[in-house]
Amino acid sequence: MEDHRLILEQFQSILKKERTTLFKNDFQYQMTQESCDTLLNMRKLIAGYEHLYTEPLKEGSKVLLLFGLLQGLFVAIDCLYTIGRSTSLDKMMININQNSALREIKYIRNDVVGHPSYRYYDDNVVGFCELDIENLVDDVFVYRSVVYVNDVIQETTHRVKMLDVIQQYYQESTDVLTQTIQFFNMKHNRVEFHLSEKVSQLADDFMEGQKNNELLQSIDDYFTKGFYLAKDSHHRVLWRTRLIRYLFNQAKNAYIDYLTILEMYKLYCLLYQLEKQINPTCQFQFVRFTPNPEFVLLKNLIKKTKNKQYDPSFLHDNAHPLHQRNFEILLKQYENHTATANLRQWIQDKLLENNRDMMYLIGSELKI
């Protein structure tokens, strides 16, 4: 993809030019350049795959080609995160998990390449994966994941089209690099923006009982214009405004209110970190709020439980193959804890609805 090559070359040129201003030391600069070089190597790997995937290769060659591509994508995504960390932007510019095709690559890679014969999921579940080698047709492959739960064998079939994944990778990688360059330009020219103040006002309004959709939209518009983003961008700021808008449309209760103000706080912190890099004198100001006591109780219970029958580290990730089962086990393990009964019932109802955004919001507050 030519756009990706050009933006990557531009990005590396800026790194060299602004080496002393962008990096704390030579090590961070070298780490970033190495990540860029790996992205260039990934382009060569993809070119090789696109050239050969339809060819009548020798036995095993297509498997080797597939394994190499899956591992390469896994590494390339990690390099994008490394670029974010080494340039002090961390995950502010990177939100790959919102791209469903790329989000699942880490699970597919672990299934097919990483641990196909003995795949560890959580404390009580081990499985394996079976690649259908005989039917590697064009860029499509099929595999089965098999787990043994409560003396029952459970099988799931996965069908993956790699050219679609490659296209998504190029698009996401290009967007990340473009947005980062734009922030470098704003930082270099000291172009200040004061969106954190608007989020603070949004939170003040909400605490006073007002869902200020107009102000929320203005935050969206201002950020989209300032960073030259598409309206459907996966940028972390826009993702959080979408979550707030989603919560505004939910039936009001204490749990929704808490998740809403919490999401506003996360959005404020994100924008404040961006603005602080341009204007180090800006002050942190956000309305005081009290955590929901039932969420606090349940989270403390999760922290104190020694014999957990679930894995609390991926409660927020409903792309995980065992996400729903993980939540079900959690709710069952504490079924006799009366102080959290209402919250657990509410979570159970939301689990049945299977809305990805809601389960992220709940899970991110409970994960440890």
Nearest Cα to Cα of residue 343 among 308, 302, 288, 292: 292
What's the pLDDT tens digit per position in 33-45?
A: 999 999 999 999 9
Residues 6+ positions from 347 with CB-CB distance below 8 Å: 327, 331, 362
3-state secondary structure at position 139: coil
Q: What is the pLDDT of residue 123?
A: 54
- Taking the C-alpha atoms of residue 282 and residue 276, their distance in angstroms, rounded to an integer, is 6
Q: Average pLDDT over the chain, rounded to whole?
A: 88
Compute the distance between CA of residue 161 and CA of residue 146 in angstroms, rounded to an integer: 21
- Tens-place pLDDT, residues 203-214: 999 999 999 999
What's the pTM? 0.81
Instruction: State the burial class of residue 26 (Cβ atoms within 10 Å of its Cβ: 0-12, 13-18, 19+).
Output: exposed
Model pLDDT, residue 122: 59
Residue 354 tokens, joined? 């299977």
Q: How confident is the model at residue 18, as a pLDDT?
A: 84
Average pLDDT over residues 9-29: 88
Instruction: Specify the amino acid at residue 40.
Output: L
Q: For residue range 121-164, list pLDDT tens digits in order.
A: 655 678 899 998 888 888 999 999 888 877 888 888 989 999 99
Pairing state between β 125-131 and 140-149: antiparallel
Rounded CA-CA distance 146/327 in Å is: 20
Q: Which pLDDT tens digit goes with each residue over 180-233? A: 888 888 888 888 788 999 999 999 999 999 999 999 999 999 998 888 887 778
The two three-digit tokens of residue 247, written as one number = 């919560």
